Amino acid sequence: MSKILFDWDGTIAKPDVARMASERRFKTLGQTIEAAWLKEAMKNNDHYKVNKQLISKYTGLTDDKELTTIMTDIFKYHYLGVIHEMGNKALYDGMINVIKKLHDKGHKLAIATTLRSDLIRYSLKVLNMDMYFEKV
């Protein structure tokens, strides 16, 4: 029995999920964006700066920690919506079977991610995969 650590975004879940959630967050914040711009902005995190500027303009808040919390809460809302809509199509083909087989053979599975752990835990629950992972 071994311990296996998976990355979530880009290994288990398709990166399209995060992109779609980011597009929806911009829409919620009243900003129209082009797909090409978002793709580049996600590489260097420029989209975060714009999100925080939009939130700050709307709320009057300037505290970076508070802006980050609001920004990630909006992202969580849309990310879970995308996961719910896409279901297993949000995951790479065959990934659930691989995870189930590893789990059934007694391997201890965990997820490492730069996304908030609560977002991943809820995503796993929505996808009925929460029983396979010991830790996020």
- pLDDT on residue 1: 80
**HEC sequence for the chain:** CCEEEEECECCCECHHHHHHHHHHHHHHCCCCCCHHHHHHHHHHCHHHHHHHHHHHHHHCCCCHHHHHHHHHHHHHHHHHHHHHHHHHHHECCCHHHHHHHHHHCCCEEEEECCCCHHHHHHHHHHCCCHHHEEEC
20-33 per-position pLDDT tens digit: 999 999 999 999 99
- pLDDT on residue 24: 97
Other CB atoms within 10 A of residue 13 CB: 25
Which regions in the chain score pLDDT beneath 70? Answer: none
- pLDDT on residue 54: 97
Other CB atoms within 10 A of residue 123 CB: 26
End-to-end alpha carbon distance in the chain:
19
